[in-house]
Amino acid sequence: MTLAEAMDVTIRLPTRMLFEGRARKLFAVAENGAFGMLPNHIDFVTSLVPSVLILTLEDGHEQIFGIDEGILVKQGHKVDVAIRRGAPGTDLATLQESVRKNFIEVDEDERVARSALSRLEAGMVRRFADLQRPMP
């Protein structure tokens, strides 16, 4: 493997691509602590915790993302990050608002879906109980 100045980084959500580009540095937080990565870092896999992921792009600008739990795979000069939820930001203030908006909306949708599923399950249990009763 040759020495590289940048790495190809892809950040994926379940439904779309959040980021795809080249970066000189990556900073993230795993279950066992924060870490930084350069293009020639050893290959590895780690699970990520809800945190801020920071990329230093080829032009020197930083791109930040609020992320939920996920997994990071580094192989060669490619880094693939798969996360449940994520939001880009230009600074921490805008990122905080973006995360609040995106994550709270998803949490509310999940709560509504869980409530509907609970009602369906309760209806099925009642119907099965009715089937077990002897007919008059």
Q: What is the mean pLDDT of residues 15-28?
A: 95
Report the domain count for the chain.
Answer: 1
Q: Is the pLDDT of residue 27 over 80?
A: yes
According to the model, what pLDDT value does residue 79 have?
A: 97
136: domain CATH number is 2.60.15.10
Which stretches of the chain are DSSP H helices? 92-132
Q: Which long-range contacts (CB under 8 A, 24 or more apart) does 32-41 make?
A: 37/7, 37/74, 37/79, 38/7, 39/3, 39/4, 39/5, 39/6, 39/7, 39/77, 40/1, 40/3, 40/4, 40/77, 41/74
Domain that holds residue 84: 1-136
CA distance 71 to 2: 25
What's the pLDDT tens digit per position in 118-128? 888 888 888 77
Q: What is the mean pLDDT of residues 41-47?
A: 94
